[in-house]
Chains A and B, each alone.
Chain A
Amino acid sequence: MAQIKHAIESLCTVLNFNRQCAIQAESFRQAKFDRHEQTRTFWLLLFDSICYSKYLQVMPEAHLSDVTLNLFECKHFLPISEQIVVYVKHYLYSFGYGVASFYQLPNNMSYGSRELLLAFSWLLAKRNIIESYIHNIEDILSIRVIDEIIDRAKNLLWQYGRLNHKLKTLLSSEKEQIRIMHKLHIGTWDTQSAVLPDCSHLSSLECYLLANPKDFQKGLLDQRITYLSALASWIGEKDLFWKWMESVLEEKFKDSSTNDLSEVKKPQKESTITKDLVAINKLLLEKIENNTQYLSRISVSDDPEKSSRYAQLRSAMASRYCQSTNQMKVHSDVNKQANQYILIKKSQKNVNHLSNPEETMKYPIADVIEQLNEATNQLKTNLMIAREKYKILMDDLLSNSTGILRLDQARIYSIEKIRAILQCVPPKFDWIGQGIISSLEHLIQCSPLDKIQKWKKFGLS
């Protein structure tokens, strides 16, 4: 047994020549006493040996995933060390190694070096690894290997040179582009570009289109027209689409009622719908507020009778909307039987007893929407009423005044609007109306200063 050290050392030299990681005779000795720090060394040794006996070449660790990927398709996300262990176990089993304690070793390479040493020696004996090394001695001694490396280096140099020349070509093309672009810009200097308003020259695309009007017609214009018409048709047909989407949603609810009920209950959905409704509510309130303000503004006139009338109107409207939107706390819950979102509306009285579920009134969402719709309609009719009132007011003003029209200058933005107002003028003032229209038409074309001056002159007394 004295020569065992020498024997192991020569084995190590042979092994190390044929693989990338080195192993020492000391490792064998330590493995004999099952020292844990040698476990990884032996797993790797086994892995290399298996690879060698299979592919007759040593597999670098980096390529492992390629090898194992085919084997364990779903396990390639394992850490590389575990992949090695699984791989080794798999192949040793397929080679016919039957020691159960070997397969019970953990995948994390924590212990078991003696078991591994035994497995390795079995492999060494069974698969004739050293013999296959001996067969390949000729390959090792021949210089073909070195030639191959030189060829590869030369090829790499060649590829590198090609890349270099390609870059030079690219650079010359780039320079050409710059030169031609410069020429183009100089040539079209002092021409207003349609695309880039700040440029005082044409862009290359514009030049191209000018040079090739057919392309402009065929390609770009048609393309844009198609796009615009598609956009227009979408606006017309989007209702259809949303109706269709509704059916899709219904389809989904139908499915989920038969399959999985829990799918439907999603807190995010609940909160968003609540949020949405609250936001809608807020928006509506704001709009109402704006409208009433607007109404009050227009109702402010010299006539106290009228102003009181508007005040009444305003208060009436405010109370109406308060009813519909007041204290509306909207919750949504999933009615599992109906599989529909249900809004829980808390009445004003129950604000203090929110915790009491029995006192909450349940409404389907459709009801709430209906209510909101009603409110909106009401608002619209109110607005109509207000407008009518305003018209009447204008009539009064026109008929009562002795022809002095005080129109806010800013309001004269459209003759049509004024025309509409003037239609309400009694027939006896028809000539005034004609005069106003003609002078307004004139005014719009004048400069602001002129406008004011002419406006001053325009005192029809």
Chain B
Amino acid sequence: MSIVTLQLGQFGNQLGYEFFNTVLDDIYCFHGKNTLRKKLAATNKYNYEDAAFESFFYATSDLPLARAVMIDTEAKVVDDVFTKAKMSKLWSYDPKCCIRKKRGSGNNWALGYCMDGDQVLLEEIMDSVQRQVEYCDRFSGFLLLMSLAGGTGSGLGTRCTEELRDRYPNSQIINEVVWPYSNGEVIVQDYNTILTLSHLYKASTGLIILENDKLHEICTRLLKIKNVGFHHINRVIAHKLAGVLLPSTCLQNQHSKRNDYAGINIFGEIGEHLCSHTDYKLLNIIDIPQIPDHSFDYTNYNWHGLLKHLHQMLIANAFMEESKYTHIELAKLSSGLPVHSDVMVNKSIANMLVIRGTEIDKADIGAFRDSRLYVNWMPNSSGLATRVNSRPYNKYEKSAFLLSNSQFCIPTINNVTEKAWNMFANRAYIHQYISNGISEDDFIDSFATAEQIITNYNKL
């Protein structure tokens, strides 16, 4: 399986760099730093490292290259990231797949989306994408990394997604979108968010939404980082993403001797288990544990505690592990007793649980199978897909990730839609969009789509 990553905009490129680093760190973890290429050549057996490597990299006579296309309207970040990767002496980007333009999008979604009618840029991007796709033996889909606030990531990213859907109708397209800070510095970020969300909803297989606010909080409160920078946040996102996307096997195949890593198609699994209904495409990743570097030595892992916390996080729609949850008992919910009004009950359509680490046999995932977690129309016990890997991941002896399609997104989208609508009611900054080819009707359509998404999820 191979995934072609598109890094869009400043944020997308920085995140991409962190993501590939995380993946490569995980591959190297047990093999020392310079043995990778030799090892790949030497062993015949297709093991975890091979599968992970093949998913995101390909070997060349020089450094391994990431299966990625870097796109930005400004040269600075692309060049920066490119140099940083090359300096690591571990991997690099394909220089032919770095696409940059001289002029930025000025945080204007319309500018990125319409590109001043710049068909050349789009063709250039698509050529690079095709180049990467042709390097893949088994091409499974695209991963687009983008933020929602800026102009390039959101606008150009949306345009690229639509174009990819056109040209590769049978591939999976997963967008990793990062929700802007609620008090972000970009004044039109809510417009950009709504426009991107509504357009992507039609073209994309699934949207993984991670919110800057929550990620920031994870950094400060769980990882105890004092001055949180973008690279900290990016590292957290990369950890979550790689945790889900790196090779893992079906729970049923866990003990089979067959070489299971060869047939994995994680994007196909995500599409099939989580995004089969076209009305529900929003995904969230919650994971456990998240521990600051200095307390690794004092940590004791056990599956029971981890999964219990994760389960509580899912029900209470909490983004991070906390000592005090607003405890919700499933039994109470189903018995129809009045629940405290401000506690939102998080109903899922489907979840994918990825467990990585030792002693997987002792992990009891029964709680996640509970049909009360899922919507009525989900056939029995098909709401949960479990994937496992007995290899410890990224410094953690045991870790669990939950990619979930649930009601988590309602408050977030609601908030943004409201703000954007207020601005739109005053026709604030609209002229900048109109001058770049987006009409008011497009705005209204987007608002309608956003409202529809909220309604759909609310009705679960």
Contact = CB atoms under 8 A, between A and B. Distances in A.
Interface of A: 151-152, 154-155, 157-162, 164-166, 168-169, 171-173, 175-176, 179-180, 211
Contact of A161 (B263, B268, B275, B376): B275
Contact of A165 (B139, B263, B271, B377): B271
**4 tightest CB-CB pairs across the interface, nearest first?**
A161-B276, A169-B268, A176-B138, A151-B377
B14 interface: no
Given A168-B172, A172-B138, A158 B271 contact: no
Contacts of A159: 276
B171 A172 contact: yes
A172 to B, nearest CB: 6
Interface of B is mostly: loop
Greatest chain A CB density within 10 A among B44, B276, B279 is at B276
B377 A154 contact: yes
A180 B275 CA distance: 30
Contacts, number: 65
B278 interface: yes
Contacts of A151: 376-377
18 contacts: A152-B377, A155-B377, A157-B276, A158-B276, A158-B277, A161-B277, A161-B278, A165-B172, A165-B268, A165-B272, A165-B275, A168-B172, A169-B268, A169-B272, A172-B139, A175-B138, A180-B137, A211-B44
Contacts of B139: 172, 175-176
Given A154-B375, A169-B272, A173-B263, 15 more contacts: A151-B376, A151-B377, A154-B277, A158-B276, A159-B276, A160-B276, A165-B205, A165-B271, A168-B171, A168-B271, A172-B139, A172-B268, A173-B265, A175-B138, A176-B137
Nearest to A168: B170
Contacts of A157: 276-279
B440 to A, nearest CB: 32
Nearest to B44: A211
Given A158-B378, A165-B272, A172 B277 contact: no
A176 B279 CA distance: 31
A176 B263 CA distance: 11
Interface in B311-351: none
Interface residues on B, range: 20 to 34
B43 to A, nearest CB: 13
Contact of A158 (B172, B268, B377): B377
Contacts of B263: 173
Interface in B203-260: 205
A173 B170 contact: no
B107 interface: no
Given A155-B377, A158-B377, A171 B277 contact: no
B377 A171 contact: no
B140 interface: yes
Contacts of A158: 276-277, 377-378
A211 B46 CA distance: 14
B276 A172 contact: no
A172 B140 contact: yes
Contacts of B205: 165
A38 to B, nearest CB: 43
Contacts of B140: 169, 172
Interface string B256-287: 00000001010010011001111100000000
B272 A171 contact: no
Given A171-B170, A176-B138, A165 B276 contact: yes
Contacts of B277: 154, 157-158, 161
A180 B138 CA distance: 9
B379 interface: yes
Greatest chain A CB density within 10 A among B140, B172, B268, B376 is at B268
Greatest chain A CB density within 10 A among B140, B172, B377 is at B377
A162 B272 contact: yes
A171 B271 CA distance: 14
Contacts of B271: 165, 168-169
Greatest chain B CB density within 10 A among A155, A169, A173 is at A169
Interface in B363-406: 375-379
A30 B199 CA distance: 63
Contact of B276 (A162, A176, A180): A162
Interface in B120-157: 137-140
Contacts of A168: 170-172, 268, 271
A385 to B, nearest CB: 70
A323 B276 CA distance: 86
Contacts of B265: 169, 172-173
A164 B377 CA distance: 19
Contacts of B170: 168, 171-172
A108 B172 CA distance: 58
A155 B137 contact: no
A169 B270 CA distance: 11
B457 to A, nearest CB: 13
Contact of B378 (A155, A165, A169): A155
Nearest to B134: A179
Given A168-B171, A172-B138, A176-B138, A155 B379 contact: yes
A207 to B, nearest CB: 13
Contacts of B376: 151
A176 B54 CA distance: 13
Interface string B170-208: 111000000000000000000000000000000001000
A44 to B, nearest CB: 34
A442 B44 CA distance: 53
A173 to B, nearest CB: 7
A171 B377 CA distance: 28
B452 to A, nearest CB: 15
A158 B377 CA distance: 9
B296 to A, nearest CB: 38
Contacts of B378: 155, 158
A208 to B, nearest CB: 12
A173 B172 CA distance: 13
Contacts of B268: 165-166, 168-169, 172
A168 B172 CA distance: 8
